[in-house]
Amino acid sequence: MEPRREAEGFEVPHERFRRRRRRRERRGRPRGLYLLPHLVTTAGLFFGFTAIVHAFGGAPDRAALFILLAAICDALDGRLARFAHSASRFGLEYDSIADIVSFGVAPAALAYSAAGLDALGRPGLVLTFLYTVGAALRLARFNVAPSRFPGRFEGLPSPAAAGMVAATQWFVSFLAENDLGFHVPRVLVALGVASLGLLMVTQFPYRSFKELDLRHSYGTLVVVVFVLLLLIQEPSITLFAIGVGYALSGPIEWLWRWKTKRPLLEARPQLPAEAVPRSNA
């Protein structure tokens, strides 16, 4: 048999043909498709920055809205990158930088400003910073280490934690608008924000819900429709209840599996994940 030519520095033929095929595929696709995921990531970064501005500008409800918009962009950019075949290491890094602003800094700024945590002095600052550093560590781990459990995130995803902060702001505004006379203590807010930061760096399993099948599961479809009706009826209460339930689901499931000795099956060891801008970190 003829010796392999790649050992002599020559290019393997099938590798050369593969690159030519990729070039032909790129020529057949509009160039805008390759830029679209980065534009969506940039939009998410803009929404995160705008949320910080509104948080310190005395408009907390609007800041919460921009955090939610940033989460929507984060859910779209990875899917668009896979659709356009434009996944790259640059996209992964850019997505993470945008996420730390939108889901690490903006929610902490919202909680710190809206709850007046500056009145607590240094403890308020430190507890709020725990959220930001927890989000940064969560995003870094998500980039370098895939989850050990199929269909699960390890630790609370940063968009979910940010959504919890935004939903809490809307819930507090709902209580104030309806004169229910309920005041949330500043210490409770600071401890709650710090707890979200700690949940992001734990190894509690959180469902990703990517495996939901609405076409063949009648029960799942009914639940989704019911939740949508509740969102339309009273979004502030519904989003807050969903956020609390999801944040607690990780520790509760871990405790239940530990007590019943039913551990999750771990996925097979994988090579380092492909550099794709991923969502729900």
E strand residue ranges, the chain: 152-154, 205-207
- In whole numbers, what is the pLDDT of the chain averaged over residues? 82
- Between helix 186-201 and helix 122-144 the angle, nearest 10°, is 20
Within a domain: residue 269? Answer: no
State the residue for tokens 């709650």.
192
Q: How far is CA 204 from CA 99, 140, 200, in A?
A: 21, 17, 9
More confident residue, 14 or 240: 240
Q: Is the pLDDT of residue 53 over 60?
A: yes
pLDDT in tens, 161-186: 999 999 999 999 998 888 776 778 89
Model pLDDT, residue 38: 87
Which pLDDT score is estimated for 23?
56
Q: What average pLDDT does the segment 102-125 reach?
A: 94
84 lies in which domain range? 21-260
User: Is 265 domain-assigned?
Assistant: no
- Give a yes or no: residue 186 inside a domain: yes
Give me the pLDDT at residue 222, please. Answer: 73
* Per-residue CA distances from 14 to 19, 52, 84 (Å): 9, 51, 23
- Apex CA 35: angle with CA 157 and CA 27, to 5°? 130
More confident residue, 270 or 200: 200
Encode pLDDT of 1-39 as tens digits.
444 444 444 444 555 655 555 555 555 555 556 778 889
List all residues 6 or more positions away from 206 whose beta carbon is below 8 Å from its beta carbon: 152, 153, 154, 155, 156, 157, 160, 246, 249, 250
* pLDDT tens string 207-236: 887 666 556 665 666 777 777 887 888 888
**Could you give the number of structural domains in the chain?**
1
Winning range, highest mean pLDDT, from 58-67, 136-145, 174-183: 58-67
Q: Which of 279, 281, 277 is nearest to 94 (CA)?
A: 277
Q: Indicate whether 8 belongs to any domain.
A: no
What's the pLDDT at 132? 96
- Is the pLDDT assigned to residue 49 strictly greater than 50? yes
Q: CA–CA separation, 81 vs 204, rounded Å?
A: 28
Give the DSSP H/E element, type plus range, for residue 163: helix 158-177
132 domain-assigned:
yes
Question: Domain of 74: which CATH number?
Answer: 1.20.120.1760
Residue 266 lies in a domain: no
Q: Is residue 177 domain-resident?
A: yes
Assess if residue 281 is contained within a domain.
no
Between 105 and 236, the more confident residue is 105
